[in-house]
Structure formats: C-alpha cells, structure tokens
Structure 1
Amino acid sequence: MYHRLWSIVNILLIVVSIVYIWFFRPHDSSLVVAGQVLAQVAVILFFININMYFIFLVIRKTSVRKVKIRLAKFSRYLMKWHIKIALLGATVIIGHALINFYELGPLIGYGHLKIWSGYLAISLLGITLVAGYLRHKKASGLRRKFHLISAMAFLAAFLLHMFVSI
C-alpha cells in the first residue's frame, strides 16, 4: 500500500516539475534553458537518492515477504550507485546554480527569494553530502539520523526553491 502511494507521489512530483519548468517558466535565453535542463536532471537524480529512505521504510514496515525480498534486492543494487548519483546530482546542480546566478541574478536581483532559496538548498545539499561522507566512513545511528535529517531538510528546501516564483 505505502509503496504504491509513494510511487504515485514520486511520479507526480517529477511530472509536475517537468510541466512547471517547461511550460510555466519558459525563457528566451539558451543559457537559462540549459540551466533548466540541468535542474530537471538534478531533480530526477535527487529523487532517486531520496527514495532510498522510503525503500528501507517499506522494507521495515511491510509484512508481505515478496515485497521485502524484492525491495531488499533492489536496494542492494541501488546502494552501489547512491554515492555516484549524489555526486553527479551535486555537480549538475552547481552548473544550474552558476548559470542562473550569472543569467538571472542581475535580472531579478540577488536578494530575490528564488535566489535565497537556492542558497539555502545548496547549503543543505553540502551538509547532506558531508553527512553522507561521514556515514560512509563510519556508520553509526547518530550519523545515519544526521544524514537522513539533512537529506529531508534538503528535499524541503529544493522543493521550496523549485516552486518559488520569479
């Protein structure tokens, strides 16, 4: 039940982000369009990584053995890619940030809520990456919780940033 609901929410968030970015935020500048492409790629990469938490949650909460086994096998495979996806997503989002800072910053002002929400999201992404690195080096309950909380805070900040109007 939960995994179906979460799948629907994920698909809706990706579709809404695509519609919002491409139909409600079109730009004339090809550089800004490149920034939008980078943002869309980053959204998908970050959703893949953030879903690791929900996969483990379903594994813990479900009583259906087949679901547990299938998700456990899938999570083992996906965990091999978790760090690579995070680093690729961070690199892509830095490209997005640099393009928009250069192109849109002078137009809307560097104190605009869109820019500030981007600063917040990038800061929380940095904290999440450091927390993930610490967890990778030495796993503990505190480090796991810190990585999880920072990832969820980053998710909230990047959703805020995505939907703040220019």
Structure 2
Amino acid sequence: MPTVSQLSQAVELHSSPESAFALVCQVEKWPVWLSFLRSARLVHAKKPIGIGAEVMIRSRIPGEADQLFEVDQYIEHHVLSLVGAYSVRRRLDFRIERKTTRSKLVARLDYPAYGGRIASLMDRLTARRKLAAQLAESLVHFKGLVEFDRHPDAVLADF
C-alpha cells in the first residue's frame, strides 16, 4: 500500500481574492508559475472550470505521461481542488483566504510514494525536498504575477 506524501505552502498576496482566484483558474498558465509542471490544459476548453471539469497535467519528470485530474471542489473566489482521475491519492488544492484588502494563497499537493517504508523514507530525503522547494518557488512566482497584474506601472513608479 503506498503512503501519501503531503506538501503545503502559503503566500500572502497584495491582491484581491477575486484577482488571485482568477489567475488560479487559468489552467493553461499553470506551467508559468507552477515550476514542476510542463503543461496543463482543460480537456474541454470551451467549458468554464468548475466541479466535474477535467484537467490534463504533465509534470517536468522526463518520460512522465499526462495525468488526468478532475475538479472535485470549486467555490468561486475561494477553493479549486483537483483529484487524480485514476488515483485518489493524487490531489492538488488551491485555497484563497480573504484578509481585508489582501489575500492569502494556500497550495497543497498530495502524491503517493510506492515501495513501502524504505521507499517512503527515500522520497522524504530526495524527491519530496525538491518538490517542496519547487512549490515554495512557484508561490513566489504566482505572487509576482498577481501583484504585477494589479499594478502594471509600479515598476516605473520610481522614475
């Protein structure tokens, strides 16, 4: 029986929850800020994202096949949660919390580690650390994207 590894990271955003959630819902842009993904797309691109929507994801692991995920929780401007279509042990959750004029993004990633206790320990020492660092970096990228979108001229404000 595989063990489930869970990673979670959070970042404070100088942005409204609506703007942050809108960026989270742009699935095709996930590889821009989620550094551990090579590609992501809605299976039915003409349908809006919501409960039951299918998302095809390919990770940056060489030779990794596309993985099908399904949206199982969706609360407008608050929660987007995906579960693996063929493995309920694979999960990707995004939660936006409102904090007055700011917001907070909490991202959680669950994935199985196969091979018993020794493989689980090796996962903790190798892949999990790298993935945790990539998730933390990804949220910094997200923060930059959502805050830049809010203040597109802020870079030139000092000149």
Asked if Structure 1 and Structure 2 have the same fold, meaning a TM-score greater than 0.5 normalized by the shorter chain, the answer is no
TM-score between the two structures when normalised by the length of structure 1: 0.29
Q: Which has the higher helix share?
A: 1
Higher relative contact order (CA 8 A, sep 6+): 2
TM-score between the two structures when normalised by the length of structure 2: 0.30
Q: Which has the higher strand share?
A: 2
